[in-house]
Amino acid sequence: MSTKEYKDVDISRWVYKEPKRNANGGFNAYIDASDQNKENPKFQLEECICKFGVSDPLEGSTRRNLELSVASKPLLEFFDRVDRQNVAEASKRSKTFFKKDLSEEVLGQTLYRYACTPHSEGLYDPLLRCKIATNGKKKTNVLVVTREQNEDGEWEEVMDEGSIDDITPFSKVLPIVELGGMWYVSKGFGCTYVITDLLVWPAEKKRKAEFVGVNIKRRKKNETETSTATEDIPPYSTNVTDSNSNELI
């Protein structure tokens, strides 16, 4: 089955399964894509920026967090619709989850964790928290985009197998996500978004310093050459010329 873009997903067809209690004392409720499709909803988002890279690993977990900076208004509106639907479904079963009947308004204002968290002062784009699987059968497939010249001498983008180490801060990414279902604990609930596939354009390295009139080789980090005798070192001089003459300064 080909991957759908989020714009083509009909969230009204999602089926919220009966909740099951987990080992932590909370509940998990899985979601089917439709009555006919028992798989988890899966769809492609838009290009986003991951400002912070991948989070540090948690002890005993094969998943790590990846915060995506979402600037697209249509994508934010999509997650807003998903959030409102999730809250409505939780309200129907609030007595099971929270021991009392709670309205959508109350749940939305107090207990729900929204998909895209806005910045407290509105200075930056909202952040979408996703999960990256680092091991196991459902390990996230990371593909890295680079540029190379083809036979005609033209530059083109190509993709290669990568790893989470390629997801550096401020990289541009294109994710395919799968809904891991709803989670419920006594003090809140929300939806888990797991990245199954990730296309990464690594952030450009910091620019190099370029000094005019200085011709000095920059030592690479992996070079281990060291000078053992001072007499082997040639006399030092700066190869800088005065702008009004050809003489060395």
Give tens-digit pLDDT for 95-132: 888 888 999 999 999 999 999 999 988 899 999 999 99
In a domain, 12, yes or no: yes
| pLDDT at 248 (0 to 100) | 36
In a domain, 243, yes or no: no
In a domain, 217, yes or no: no
Pick the range with the lowest mean pLDDT from 38-47, 68-77, 151-160, 206-215.
206-215
In a domain, 117, yes or no: yes
Domain total in the chain: 1
CA angle, 103 then 107 then 110, to 5°: 135
CA angle, 175 then 176 then 182, to 5°: 110
232 φψ region: left (φ > 0), alpha (ψ -120 to 50), beta (else): alpha
Q: How confident is the model at residue 1 (pLDDT cuts 50, 70, 90)?
A: low
In a domain, 62, yes or no: yes
Cβ atoms 171, 199 nearer than 8 A: no
Q: Does the pLDDT at position 249 exceed 50?
A: no
The residues, ordered by sequence, that sit 6+ positions from 13 with a Cβ below 8 Å of its Cβ are 33, 34, 35
In a domain, 57, yes or no: yes
Domain enclosing residue 86, as ranges: 4-201
Q: Scan for tokens 């409720």, then name that residue.
A: 29
In a domain, 232, yes or no: no
Q: What percent of the chain has pLDDT over 70?
A: 84
